[in-house]
């Protein structure tokens, strides 16, 4: 493994998501987690390549590595910065320590004994370990789903979750536990089926890839479990366990404790596992790709959709070359759909359609990002990608919404003469009570709630004098 390290991961990737969450856990919890071979392997697979390289070099050595020797793994400059970043990340995760070695006192790179022992077991298969799960007895395997059936199940479960987010009419709804998770994660507003609405965070969620979406939900689930006083080690260990299991196999639930059995049902609602009547389960492709770079779903979309399916014209007309109900439902959040044909949906971006999207918490930048991400290859030949007039107008409509705010007020109109109007309006202006003025000649203005009491008193006094 000796050689020059080339790490394509950014610092942000190394410390984002699950890394930040693990970094926030106390050392005692991490030590209990690392004691499980399946968890140590999962964490290793999640690490950026520089950190993996360091661990593998230290894993089979019986002595610690002098820190100065680590510098031979990289070139100067960017490689050295990546090395330092990787070491710092491993230290925060309590996988390694930099300590003063004996007898020279030079700093050495020391791999955690618990992590070393556990990862060795995971890689060699040494000893009997249940952290990877046990295959179910063959007598209970008769109705096991095939890999294509598991893919279809996972896709259906995940699609139902996404359709719930965008509010499309679909008979299959996610489980209550999944809906509660979406609400708790801030992706969906609370309420019943008719009143729930996607939030700004929810729309941003739709722009992410499936693997990022999964980890986002799992991290929120971990946060909820922590708030409920649940042993986090049990929850994280189960996530890593199913992430290391084999697609298409049935695993026994007999090794799981009651808490993990309950968690398994929630994971079933997310499409991570299929739970049989016997209690045994099969991990889906969504689960087994959690800690790998492989695509999590087979039916992510047609080749045309993956390349881009949206054409936006300067006249605000939108052409969507798709039959995907989910993509159409997302478009319906901010596009006024006019016509639908096999493989083609035509719509218009209007002030009203954008206002409807903004009312759901969607931001103009998110709408523009969606249009950019799914732009048709034909549009990518032009510069700029999206018509500037349309982009600017979408932003202006958002500013219009942000510029207008609602306040309670009292409207004054039906003045007998212009003189009466001028007298009362001037008084309202003097005390700073005017909230809105009508068009010249309309003899209408509105006051604040507090100012209304004073203006009404002024009118009553004037009427008493003139009567």
Q: What's the pLDDT tens digit per position in 149-167? A: 999 999 999 999 999 998 8
What token pair was written down for 103? Answer: 């007898």
pLDDT bucket at 302, cuts 50 / 70 / 90: low
pLDDT bucket at 19, cuts 50 / 70 / 90: confident
* Rounded percentage of the chain residues whose pLDDT exceeds 90: 52
pLDDT of residue 410: 93
In whole angstroms, give the CA distance from residue 355 to residue 357.
Answer: 5
Secondary structure of the chain in HEC code, one letter for each residue: CCCCCCCCCCHHHHHCCHHHHHHHCCHHHHHHHHCCHHHHHHHHHHCCHHHHHHHHHHHCCCCCEEHHHHHHHCCCCHHHHHHHHHHHHHHHCCCEEEEECCCCCCEEEEECHHHHHHHHHHHHCCCCCCCCCCECCHHHCCCCCCHHHHHHHHHHHHHHHHHHHHCCCCCCCCCHHHHHHHHHCCCECCCCCCCCCECHHHHHHHCCCHHHHHHHHHHHHHHHHHHCCCCHHHHHHHHHHHHCCCCCCCECCCCCCHHHHHHHHHHHHCCCEEECCCCCEEECHHHHCCCCCCCCCCCCCCHHHHHCCEEECCCCEEEECCCCHHHHHHHCCCCEEEEEECCEEEEECCHHHHHHHHHCCCCHHHHHHHHHHCECCCHHHCCCCCCHHHHHHHHHHHHHHHHCCCCCEEEECCCCCHHHHHHHHHHHHHCCCEEEECCCCCCCEEEEHHHHHHHHHHHHHHHHHHC
Number of Cβ atoms within 10 Å of the Cβ of 457: 10
Whole-structure pTM value: 0.73
* CATH number for the domain whose boundaries are 8-124: 1.10.10
In the predicted structure, residue 12 carries a pLDDT above the cut 50? no
User: Averaged over 263-284, what is the pLDDT?
Assistant: 93
pLDDT bucket at 460, cuts 50 / 70 / 90: confident
**Of 27, 46, 24, the residue nearest 35 (C-alpha):** 27
pLDDT of residue 140: 56
Q: Highest-confidence range of 70-79, 137-146, 266-275, 448-457, by mean pLDDT?
A: 266-275
Q: Give 388-415 pLDDT, tens digit per residue.
A: 999 999 999 998 877 767 788 999 998 9
In whole angstroms, give the CA distance from residue 213 to residue 45.
Answer: 18
Q: Which residue has the tokens 């020797």?
A: 69
* CATH number for the domain whose boundaries are 409-466: 3.30.70.2610
User: Averaged over 448-459, what is the pLDDT?
Assistant: 89
Residue positions counted in the chain: 467
pLDDT of residue 132: 86
267 versus 130: the higher-pLDDT residue is: 267
104 versus 355: the higher-pLDDT residue is: 355
User: Averaged over 230-239, what is the pLDDT?
Assistant: 92
In the predicted structure, residue 24 carries a pLDDT above the cut 90? no
Q: Give 189-205 pLDDT, tens digit per residue.
A: 887 777 788 888 899 89
Distance of CA 159 to the CA centre of its chain: 15
**Of 441, 380, 372, the residue nearest 413 (C-alpha):** 441
Q: Taking a C-beta distance cutoff of 8 angstroms, is the pair 181, 224 a contact? A: yes
177 versus 67: the higher-pLDDT residue is: 177
347 versus 71: the higher-pLDDT residue is: 347
Q: Which residues in 56-73 are b (16+ Cβ under 10 Å) and which e? A: ebbeeeeebbeeeebeeb
pLDDT bucket at 94, cuts 50 / 70 / 90: very high
pLDDT bucket at 466, cuts 50 / 70 / 90: confident
In whole angstroms, give the CA distance from residue 433 to residue 448.
Answer: 6
pLDDT bucket at 2, cuts 50 / 70 / 90: very low
In the predicted structure, residue 115 carries a pLDDT above the cut 50? yes
In whole angstroms, give the CA distance from residue 254 to residue 205.
Answer: 35
In whole angstroms, give the CA distance from residue 438 to residue 440.
Answer: 6
User: Averaged over 248-267, what is the pLDDT?
Assistant: 92
In the predicted structure, residue 8 carries a pLDDT above the cut 50? no
pLDDT of residue 95: 95
pLDDT of residue 1: 35
Which residues pair with residue 307 across a beta bridge?
Answer: none
**Of 197, 171, 175, 202, the residue nearest 186 (C-alpha):** 202
In the predicted structure, residue 220 carries a pLDDT above the cut 50? yes
Q: Taking a C-beta distance cutoff of 8 angstroms, is the pair 225, 232 a contact? A: yes
pLDDT of residue 101: 62
Domain boundaries, the chain: 8-124, 134-290, 307-402, 409-466
State the helix-helix crossing angle for 27-34 and 37-46, rounded to 10 degrees: 110
Give the mean pLDDT of the chain. 86
Q: From residue 291, how far is each of 42, 52, 267, 275, 403 by CA, in Å? A: 6, 13, 16, 21, 45
pLDDT of residue 5: 32
Q: From residue 269, how far is each of 200, 318, 366, 403, 450 by CA, in Å? A: 23, 34, 28, 42, 52
Name which of 56-65, 208-217, 300-309 the model is least confident about.
Answer: 300-309
In whole angstroms, give the CA distance from residue 39 to residue 243.
Answer: 9
Q: Highest-confidence range of 113-117, 437-441, 459-463, by mean pLDDT?
A: 113-117
Number of Cβ atoms within 10 Å of the Cβ of 44: 20
**Of 157, 153, 47, the residue nearest 91 (C-alpha):** 47
pLDDT of residue 4: 31
11 versus 238: the higher-pLDDT residue is: 238
User: Averaged over 286-292, what is the pLDDT?
Assistant: 87
pLDDT bucket at 304, cuts 50 / 70 / 90: low
In the predicted structure, residue 87 carries a pLDDT above the cut 50? yes
In the predicted structure, residue 438 carries a pLDDT above the cut 50? yes
In whole angstroms, give the CA distance from residue 182 to residue 166.
Answer: 12
For the beta sheet containing 96-100, the strands, ordered from the edge strand earlier in sequence to the opposite edge, are 65-66, 107-111, 96-100
């Amino acid at each position: 493994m000796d050689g020059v390290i080339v790490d394509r991961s950014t610092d942000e990737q190394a410390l984002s998501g699950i890394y930040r969450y693990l970094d926030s856990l106390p050392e005692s919890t991490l030590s209990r987690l690392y004691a499980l071979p399946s968890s140590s392997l999962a964490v290793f697979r999640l690490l950026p390549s520089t950190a993996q390289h360091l661990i593998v070099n230290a894993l089979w050595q019986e002595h610690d590595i002098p820190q100065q020797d680590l510098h031979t793994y990289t070139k100067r400059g960017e490689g050295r910065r990546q090395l330092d970043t990787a070491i710092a990340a491993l230290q925060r995760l309590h996988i390694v320590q930099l300590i003063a070695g004996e007898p020279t006192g030079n700093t050495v790179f020391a791999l955690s004994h618990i992590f070393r022992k556990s990862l060795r077991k995971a890689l060699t298969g040494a000893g009997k370990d249940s952290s990877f799960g046990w295959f179910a007895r063959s007598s209970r395997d008769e109705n096991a789903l095939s890999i294509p059936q598991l893919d279809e199940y996972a896709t259906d479960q995940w699609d139902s979750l996404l359709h719930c987010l965008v509010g499309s009419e679909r008979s299959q709804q996610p489980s209550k536990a999944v809906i509660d998770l979406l609400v708790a994660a801030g992706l969906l507003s609370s309420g019943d089926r008719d009143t729930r609405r996607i939030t700004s965070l929810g729309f941003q969620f739709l722009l992410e890839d499936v693997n990022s979406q999964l980890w986002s939900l799992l991290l929120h689930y971990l946060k909820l479990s922590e708030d409920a006083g649940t042993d986090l080690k049990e929850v994280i260990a189960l996530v890593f366990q199913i992430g290391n299991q084999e697609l298409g196999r049935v695993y026994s639930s007999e090794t799981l404790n009651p808490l993990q059995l309950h968690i398994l049902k929630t994971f079933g609602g997310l499409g991570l596992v299929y739970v049989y009547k016997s209690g045994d389960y099969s991990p889906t492709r969504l689960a087994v790709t959690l800690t790998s770079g492989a695509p999590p779903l087979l039916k992510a979309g047609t080749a045309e959709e993956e390349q881009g399916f949206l054409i936006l014209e300067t006249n605000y007309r939108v052409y969507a070359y798709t039959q995907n109900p989910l993509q159409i439902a997302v478009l319906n959040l901010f596009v006024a759909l006019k016509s639908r044909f096999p493989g083609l949906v035509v719509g218009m971006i209007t002030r009203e359609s954008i206002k409807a999207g903004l009312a759901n918490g969607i931001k103009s930048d998110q709408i523009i990002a969606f249009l950019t991400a799914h732009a048709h290859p034909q549009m990518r030949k032009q510069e700029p990608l999206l018509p500037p007039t349309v982009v600017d107008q979408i932003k202006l409509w958002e500013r219009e919404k942000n510029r207008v705010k609602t306040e309670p007020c009292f409207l004054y109109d039906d003045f007998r003469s212009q003189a009466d109007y001028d007298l009362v309006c001037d008084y309202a202006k003097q005390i700073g009570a005017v909230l809105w003025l009508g068009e010249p000649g309309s003899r209408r203005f509105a006051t604040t709630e507090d100012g209304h009491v004073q203006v009404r008193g002024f009118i009553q006094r004037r009427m008493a004098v003139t009567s």
